[in-house]
Structure 1
C-alpha cells in the first residue's frame, strides 16, 4: 500500500463527508458510538435530556433529581459499501482519495441511512391517523399542524416539514413559501431546503411518500460503528457529529485487490409521537 495517509485520516474524512450528505438525518436527534461490540439486531439506549416541570413554591422546596431519559432503538440495518482499489487509487493523497473513492462510498451509505429513517416516516404517513392534504389547498392542513404544535407547547425552534415528491408538487405554486437564504452553505440539507411555512423549515426528500411535520426530538437515528477490524491491514472506527462509521483498507484474496470498505450499523425510532404530525396526499394510494 503506497498511500501516505493513515486509516484514521480516512475515517475522519469519511465522517465529514457523511454528515455533509445528510438531509433527514440532519433534522432529527442523532446518537453515535464507535467501537461498538454488538451487531445488527442489537438494542441500544439513546440518552435524552428529560423535560422538567416547575412547581409553585408553597413554603417548602421540593427537589427533583436530574435525570436522563432513555430511548431504546434497534439497529436494524448494516449499510456497507465495498470498493476494489487499483494501484492508482492507493497512490492518491487523502484529498483525492476522499473525492474519488470515499465520496461515492459515503454517498451510497448516506442514502441507505436516509432511507432507513424515511421508511419510519413513511409508515406514519401511510397510517389511518395521517392528516390528508388536499393538493388544491395544501396550506390548510399545514397551517392547522402549526397551530396544533403551539397547543402542544412544542418549542418553536427546530420544527421541520419533510415532504416527498408528491407533496412537493402540490407546494410548487404556493406563494407563501418563503425561500430560505442559504448564506453560502452548500450542505445537502441546505440544498434540500425549499423555504419556510408557518414556522416549519420545509425540506424535500426523494425517499418520502406524503409528508411529516415534526420537531427535531420526535425521531432518533442511532448509528454505531463496529469495532475496528484487527485482522485487516488498516481499520478505524470513529464518530463525528452524531454519525459513526468504520473504515477499512485491506487486501482481499477473493478479488485479488486492495479494497476500501465503509460500514456502519443504524436504526431509527419514534421518540415522542406527540411531536410529529404525518400527512398523506388526497387521492394517494400509499
Structure 2
C-alpha cells in the first residue's frame, strides 16, 4: 500500500492554528488582513477605527465624516523557519508531525511576532516609573489612570506584563486573588484577570535586559552597516558608562542585545557585538535603550498588526497559503538535488504600526 504524504495545505492549516494559539500580544491588538499579495518592503494603506465627537444639537445637525481615515504601513517583517524532513516524517499523522516539527517552528515565529509588537514600547511617549517592591498595585492603577486621562474606551483595554513585573505584582494579595478568580481557560491563555479596567496578561517577549546587572548607559547613538553584527556607540550618557552582555536597544522596531561587556571611553564605544544583523545602515541613530523591565498597557486600537499573503512560487504545486482571523501562513516544499533532501519552509509577512500613541502607556523599572 502506498504511503500517504502530508500535503502543503494540510501542513499550512495546522501551522496557522498553532501560530494563533501561541500568540499573546498579536491577539490583543488591532489586526488588518486582505488577500492582496505583497512583497517585503511594500507599503499598504489600512483603515483606522473611526472617531466621532458628540455635538450639541442647536436646531441643525453637524455631519461628521464617517470614514475611518487611513494610515500607510510598511510590510517589512518576513519571518521564516525552514527545516529538513525525511520521507518517513512526511508520512506521519498530522498530529505527530505537528508536535515534532510544526509546533516548535510556529512557536519561534509567534515569539518573533510578539517581540516585534512589544518593541512598539519605543514609540510610546507616556510612561509610568515602576516601584521596586510595591506593597499594593499603585503602579498598575497609574497605568489605568493614564488611559482614563487619554479618554481611552473602557472596553478592550489590555495590560501585558513582563515576567519580572508579573512576579513582582503577583506577590500582592490583590493580584493573586484576581488571578485565581479566572477560569481554567483564562489561566491557560496566560490571562491573569481584569485589574483596574485592564485585561491583564503575561508575555515573555516584553523588552528587558538579559543581564543580571545591567550597564549604566542610559542613552547612546548607534552606527553600523546593514548585515553587521558589530556597532559603534557615540553620545553615551556618561563618559565611562557601561553596557553589559544581554543589555538591549531598539531601532526601527527591531531589538538587539549586546554580546559582550564594554565601557565607554570619553562617551563612546568603538566596537561592540550584537546578537543579530542590523536591518539597515545607521549613522549616529538614536537608540531606545532597554536596561529595565518593560510592560505595556494599551487599548486595542493603539497598535496594528498588518498581515498579507505571500505569493506562491510560479508553477509549483508543492506550496499552499492558508489564512484566517487576520493571519496567514505560507508553506513551501523544496527538494535539493545536490544533497537529496526535502525541505519544508513556513513563513509569514507583516508590518506593525502605532495608530494612536495616546492610547498606550508603558511601565518601566
Q: TM-score range by the shorter chain?
A: 0.7 to 0.9
SS in 1 for 2:159: strand
Matched, 1:198 2:196: yes
Aligned to 2:52: 52
Aligned to 1:222: 306
**1:46 shift after superposition:** 2.3
Aligned to 2:364: 280
Between stretches 175-184 and 151-160, larger displacement belongs to 175-184
Aligned to 1:31: 32
Cα 1:257/1:158, change in 2 over 3 Å = same
C-alpha distance in structure 1 between counterparts of 2:45 and 2:114, whole Å: 20
C-alpha distance in structure 2 between counterparts of 1:7 and 1:246, whole Å: 9
Aligned to 2:162: 164
TM-score for the superposition, normalised by structure 1:
0.86
Between stretches 261-270 and 93-102, larger displacement belongs to 93-102
**1:255 shift after superposition:** 3.9
C-alpha distance in structure 2 between counterparts of 1:91 and 1:27, whole Å: 36
C-alpha distance in structure 2 between counterparts of 1:64 and 1:180, whole Å: 45
Cα 1:35/1:180, change in 2 over 3 Å = farther
**1:124 shift after superposition:** 4.7
**1:259 shift after superposition:** 1.5
Aligned to 1:85: 85
**1:215 shift after superposition:** 0.9
Matched, 1:7 2:91: no
Cα 1:253/1:162, change in 2 over 3 Å = same
Matched, 1:271 2:359: no
Cα 1:57/1:181, change in 2 over 3 Å = same
Aligned CA RMSD, in angstroms, stands at 2.4
**1:237 shift after superposition:** 2.0
Within 5 Å, give how 1:48-127 maps onto structure 2: 48-121=48-121, 123-124=122-123
TM-score for the superposition, normalised by structure 2:
0.68
**Given that residues 79 and 348 in structure 2 are in contact (C-alpha distance below 8 angstroms), is that contact kept between their aligned partners in structure 1?**
yes
Runs (5+) with no aligned partner, structure 1: 282-286
More helix by share: 1
**Given that residues 158 and 298 in structure 2 are in contact (C-alpha distance below 8 angstroms), is that contact kept between their aligned partners in structure 1?**
yes
Matched, 1:133 2:130: yes
**Given that residues 34 and 308 in structure 2 are in contact (C-alpha distance below 8 angstroms), is that contact kept between their aligned partners in structure 1?**
yes
Greater RCO structure (CA 8 Å; 6+ sep): 1
Matched, 1:259 2:343: yes
Question: What do the CA deviations read for 1:117-140 (whole angstroms, capped 9, x no partner)?
Answer: 12222x257x7x532111222622
Larger Rg: 2
Runs (5+) with no aligned partner, structure 2: 209-293
**Given that residues 6 and 91 in structure 2 are in contact (C-alpha distance below 8 angstroms), is that contact kept between their aligned partners in structure 1?**
no
**1:221 shift after superposition:** 1.2
